[in-house]
Chains A and B, each alone.
Chain A
Amino acid sequence: MDALWLARLQFGITSVYHFLFVPLTLGLSVLVAIMETIYVRTGDETYKHMTRFWGKLFLINFAMGVVTGIVQEFHFGMNWSEYSRFMGDIFGAPLAIEALAAFFLESTFLGLWLFGWDKLPKTLHATCIWLVAFASNLSAFWILVANSFMQEPVGFALRNGRAEMTDFFALLTNPHVLYQFPHTVLAGFVTASFFVLGISAYHLLRRSQLEPFRRSFRLALIMGLISSLLVAGIGHLQGQHLVASQPMKMAAAEALWDSADPAPLALVAVVNESQQANSFEIKIPALTSFLAYNRFQGEVKGLKDLQAAAAAQYGPGNYIPPVTTVFWSFRLMIAAGLWLILLALYSLYLWRRGRLEASPLVLRLLLWSIPVPYIANTAGWLMAEIGRYPWIVYGLQRVEAAVSPGVGAGAILFTLLAFTLLYGVLAVADIYLLARYARQGVAPGPDAGIVTNIGEVSLWI
C-alpha cells in the first residue's frame, strides 16, 4: 500500500464521514429556527417544546459535524502539502473566509442560543438560531467555492509553479458553484426534512405526543417536498453544465464508452473497464442526449474519444476515472432522490385526505427512509470527487503530484486506522444518543435535561 493510495483513502473516509453530519445541520437549523419563530409569534408552548426537542437532536449532530470538520481543515497541510503549495493562493482564501465569516458567527450564536434561554429576550433568542442557520449555510457556500475550483478552475493564472488568483469575483461566480451550492444546501434541507418526518412518523405510529409531532410532520413535509423537487431540478441543470465543463465525468456517470448522437441512457450496465465496454446494459435510446440538451439529438462524447483528446492535450496517461464507481454512485443518488420525492408526494396525498395516521405502512416507510438522504448525499459526493480523477484540480494538477512527499505510508496508515477507529466508536455513541432522545420525544421527562432557569445559570445540556 503506497502513501498516495492511503492518503486518498483517508481523505475519502474522513470527508464522507464529515459529510454525514453537515447536511442535517444545514437543514435542521432552519427547521428549528422556523419552529422557534412560530413560538415567539404565537406564544404557543407546543412550538417551544418542539424547538427544544429538535434543537437537542440538532446539537448532538452539530457537535460531530464540528469536530470532524476540524480534521478536514488541517488535512490539506498534513497529507496533501504539495496540493496546498500549488493551490494555497486560491484554496486558502475561501477556507479562511469560511472561518472568519461563518464559523465565528455559528459558534458564538449557538453558545448564546444554548445558554441564553432566560438571559435574552425571546425575539433576540430566536434571532440567534436564525444566525446559526444562516452561518451554517454560508459556510457551505465558502467550502463549495473552494471545492468548485477543483472541479472547474476559474479566475487564475499559472505563475511561480502554482495557480495564482487573478479574479476573486470569478471564484465566487464560478458556474460550478452556482449549481453546486443550491444542490448541496437543498440536499441538506431534504436530509433534515426526512429526519424530522421519520422521527415524527415513529411517534405518530406509537400514537404518543400526537400534537407536537403532527406539527413537526407538517412543517417537514412542506420543506421536504419543495426541497426534494428543487434538488432534482437543479441536479438536472447541473448535469447539463457538466456535459460542457467536465465531459469525462459525465461520460463516466453514463458509462458511455463511444461518442454517440443521439446518445442513449443506460439504466443499468455491467461495466468492464479493462475491455472499455459494457458487457450488459439496458438502455433507453436518445435519453442522455435529451437530458444533456433538452432535445433528442446532439452528440455526447464518449470516454474513448475524451481519453484520446486528454492524452493529446496533457500527454500520455490514463484520464478515465473509475467508471463503475461513478456510474453506480450516480444511479444510487438519483434512485434515492426519486424515492424521496415519491414518498413525500404520497405522504402529502394521505395527509390532505386525513388518512396518514391510519397508514402504518407509510409511516414505517418514512421511519425507515431516514438513511436514504444520507445515501444520496454520499453517493453524490463520490460521483463528484471520484469523477474528477485522475485530477485533483481539473486539468491542472494530478492526484499523485499533490500528496505530501515527506509523509511516509506508515504514518498515514497509522492515522488512517486511528481516525477510522475513533470515528467508528463515535458513530455508535452518536447514534445511541440520537435514538435515545428521538424515542423519548418532547415530553419533558425527569432526565430530559431541560432546566428552565434556576438562579443564575441556564442549563440546557
Chain B
Amino acid sequence: MDLNVLWFILIAVLFTGFFFLEGFDYGVGILVPFLGKNDGERRAIINSIGPFWDGNEVWMLTAGGALFAAFPHWYATLFSGFYLALFLILVALILRGVAFEFRSKDERPAWRNFWDWMLCLGSLLPALLWGVAMANLIRGVPIDGRMQYAGTFFDLLSPYTLLGGLAFLLVFLLQGALFLTLKTGEDLPERARQAGLRAGSAAAVVFLLLVIQSYSQTDISSRPLAAPALWGALVTLVLAWWLLRSRRYGGAFFLNGLTIILGTAALFSGLFPRVMVSSLNPEWSLTIYRASSSPYTLKVMTIVALTLVPVVLIYQAWTYWVFRQRVKARDMRY
C-alpha cells in the first residue's frame, strides 16, 4: 500500500475518532441548559464530560494538523474555501472552551446561565457545520483548475448539505443523551432518555432522507463500500434508538457509536481516491496524489504517527477507566 493511501486512511481514522469522541461531548454540551434544572444538575452534566472533552477536541486538532502535513492542498483548498463556515466553527469552539472553564468561577446565576448557553451554542454550531462541511466534501464544490474554491459561502448551503448537517447534529445529540444515561445519576438518566428518544426518532428520519438523497446528489452508489456502510449506519441508528427505548443504555451507546463510525466510513470510502470533489470538472477534483506532500514527508510522518498513536490511545483509554463511575448531582457542593 502506498503512503498516500495510508495517509488517506489515517486521516479518515482521525476524523472518525474525532466524530466518535467529540460527538457525545457536543451532544452533552447542547443538552446542558435543557436537561439541567438547577445549577447542581448542570454541573453534574458538564462534569460527565469534564475530564474528556479537551482530549477529544485534540482529535480535531490532530486531524487538521495531519491534513496540513500529508495533504497540504486539501488543507489549503478546504479551509480557504469553507472560510466563513470554518470561522463560525472557530468562534463556537472558543466560546465553548472558555465556557467550561469560566462558568463556575462566579456564582451569580446570570453569569452561569450565560456560559451554559454559550456551551450549548458552542456545541451545536460545530456539530451542525461539520456535517454541512462533510456533505459538501462528498457532493462536490466548485473547485477550479488551480485547486481554488470558486464559490461563495452560500454555495455551501444546499438542501442536501443542510440535511447532512442536521443528521450530524441529531446523531450527536442522541449520542450525548446516551452518554448521560450512562454517566449521571438520580433523575438525569431518565430525562436524558426522553431527550435521546426524541433526538433519535428525528435522527432516523433525517438520516433516511440523507441516504436516499445521497443517491441522486453524489456518486456514492458507484463506490463499492460507501453505500452499504451508509445503510448500515441507518440500521445501527434505529437499533440504538430501540435499545434506548428498552433501557439498554450500554448497547445503545455502542450501536450509535457504530452509526458515527459507519457514517464517516461511508463518507471517506465515497471520496476515495479523491479528497475534494470538484463540481465544475471531475478532472479538477483533488486526489490523494495531487494534494499530497512529498514522499519523504509522508514517510517521516508515517514513522511518527505509528509510534505515537498507540501511546495516545492507551492513555486516553486509561482516562475513561479512571473516570468510569457515574457523576451525581447530590454529591456536589460549592
Task: Decide yes or no whether A209 CB sits under 8 A from chain B.
Answer: no
Task: Decide yes or no whether B51 CB sits under 8 A from chain A.
Answer: yes
Task: Decide yes or no whether B134 CB sits under 8 A from chain A.
Answer: no
Q: How far is the CB of A161 from chain B (nearest CB, A)?
A: 11
Q: How far is the CB of A362 from chain B (nearest CB, A)?
A: 31
Q: With the chains together, A98 CA to B90 CA distance in Å?
A: 19
Question: Are the CB atoms of B62 and A96 closer together than 8 Å?
Answer: yes
Task: Decide yes or no whether B2 CB sits under 8 A from chain A.
Answer: no
Q: With the chains together, A166 CA to B299 CA distance in Å?
A: 11
Q: How far is the CB of B3 from chain A (nearest CB, A)?
A: 13
* Known pairs A78-B80, A85-B76, A449-B105; A95 contacts B54 (CB<8 A): no
Question: Are the CB atoms of A115 and B323 closer together than 8 Å?
Answer: yes
Q: Which of B299-334 contact A (CB under 8 A)?
A: 300-301, 304-305, 308-309, 312, 315-316, 319, 322-323, 325-328, 330-334
- Return chain A residues, CB-CB under 8 Å to B97: 63, 66-67, 70
Task: Decide yes or no whether A76 CB sits under 8 A from chain B.
Answer: yes
Question: Are the CB atoms of A422 and B65 closer together than 8 Å?
Answer: no
Question: Are the CB atoms of B301 and A93 closer together than 8 Å?
Answer: yes
Q: Which of B2-57 contact A (CB under 8 A)?
A: 43-44, 47, 50-52, 54-55, 57
Q: With the chains together, A88 CA to B65 CA distance in Å?
A: 10
Q: With the chains together, A436 CA to B67 CA distance in Å?
A: 41
Question: Are the CB atoms of A165 and B106 closer together than 8 Å?
Answer: no
Q: With the chains together, A71 CA to B88 CA distance in Å?
A: 11
Task: Decide yes or no whether B254 CB sits under 8 A from chain A.
Answer: no
Question: Are the CB atoms of B333 and A454 closer together than 8 Å?
Answer: yes
Q: With the chains together, A107 CA to B57 CA distance in Å?
A: 9
Q: Which of B57, B72, B102, B308 contacts A433 (CB 8 A)?
A: B102
Q: How far is the CB of A206 from chain B (nearest CB, A)?
A: 22
Question: Are the CB atoms of B91 and A418 closer together than 8 Å?
Answer: yes
Q: With the chains together, A429 CA to B111 CA distance in Å?
A: 11
- Return chain A residues, CB-CB under 8 Å to B51: 111-112, 114-116
Q: With the chains together, A186 CA to B305 CA distance in Å?
A: 29
- Count A interface residues, CB 8 Å: 81
Q: Which of A84, A93, A119, A404 contacts B297 (CB 8 A)?
A: A93
Question: Are the CB atoms of A92 and B65 closer together than 8 Å?
Answer: yes
Q: How far is the CB of B14 from chain A (nearest CB, A)?
A: 10
- Return chain A residues, CB-CB under 8 Å to B274: none
Q: Which of B75, B90, B93 contacts A88 (CB 8 A)?
A: B75
Question: Are the CB atoms of A96 and B86 closer together than 8 Å?
Answer: no
Question: Are the CB atoms of A103 and B293 closer together than 8 Å?
Answer: no
In chain B, what residue has the closest Cβ to A429? B102
Q: Which of A67, A97, A164 contacts B93 (CB 8 A)?
A: A67
Residue of A73, A98, A101, A406 with most chain B CB atoms under a 10 A cut-off: A406
Task: Decide yes or no whether B263 CB sits under 8 A from chain A.
Answer: no
Q: With the chains together, A74 CA to B330 CA distance in Å?
A: 41
- Return chain A residues, CB-CB under 8 Å to B296: 164-166, 168
- Return chain B residues, CB-CB under 8 Å to A459: 43, 47, 332
Task: Decide yes or no whether B84 CB sits under 8 A from chain A.
Answer: yes
Task: Decide yes or no whether A81 CB sits under 8 A from chain B.
Answer: yes
Chain B 233-275: CB-based contact to A (< 8 A → 1; otherwise 0) = 0000000000000000000000000000000000000000000
Q: How far is the CB of A351 from chain B (nearest CB, A)?
A: 32
- Return chain B residues, CB-CB under 8 Å to A165: 293-294, 296-297, 300
Residue of B71, B94, B148, B309 with most chain A CB atoms under a 10 A cut-off: B94
Task: Decide yes or no whether B139 CB sits under 8 A from chain A.
Answer: no
Chain B 216-236: CB-based contact to A (< 8 A → 1; otherwise 0) = 000000000000000000000
Question: Are the CB atoms of B297 and A90 closer together than 8 Å?
Answer: yes
Question: Are the CB atoms of B94 and A68 closer together than 8 Å?
Answer: yes
Question: Are the CB atoms of A456 and B55 closer together than 8 Å?
Answer: no
Question: Are the CB atoms of B101 and A451 closer together than 8 Å?
Answer: no
Question: Are the CB atoms of A457 and B332 closer together than 8 Å?
Answer: yes
Question: Are the CB atoms of B334 and A449 closer together than 8 Å?
Answer: yes
Question: Are the CB atoms of A78 and B86 closer together than 8 Å?
Answer: yes
Q: With the chains together, A456 CA to B44 CA distance in Å?
A: 11
Task: Decide yes or no whether B69 CB sits under 8 A from chain A.
Answer: yes
Task: Decide yes or no whether B98 CB sits under 8 A from chain A.
Answer: yes
Question: Are the CB atoms of A78 and B83 closer together than 8 Å?
Answer: yes
Question: Are the CB atoms of A85 and B62 closer together than 8 Å?
Answer: no
In chain B, what residue has the closest Cβ to A157? B294
Task: Decide yes or no whether B280 CB sits under 8 A from chain A.
Answer: no
Question: Are the CB atoms of B148 and A406 closer together than 8 Å?
Answer: yes
Chain B 72-86: CB-based contact to A (< 8 A → 1; otherwise 0) = 110111111101101
Q: A74-B90, A457-B44, A457-B332 are in contact. List 20 more A-B contacts (CB 8 A).
A: A66-B54, A66-B97, A73-B65, A78-B86, A91-B68, A93-B293, A99-B65, A112-B322, A115-B50, A115-B323, A116-B322, A119-B323, A164-B293, A164-B296, A168-B300, A407-B80, A415-B83, A418-B91, A456-B325, A459-B43
Q: Ordered nearest first, which 4 A-B pairs have the shortest CB separation?
A: A88-B72, A77-B79, A92-B69, A92-B68
A-B contact pairs, 22 of them (CB 8 A): A64-B98, A66-B97, A70-B90, A81-B148, A88-B69, A92-B75, A96-B68, A97-B308, A100-B309, A101-B304, A104-B312, A116-B323, A164-B297, A404-B80, A407-B80, A415-B83, A415-B84, A426-B94, A449-B104, A454-B333, A455-B328, A456-B328
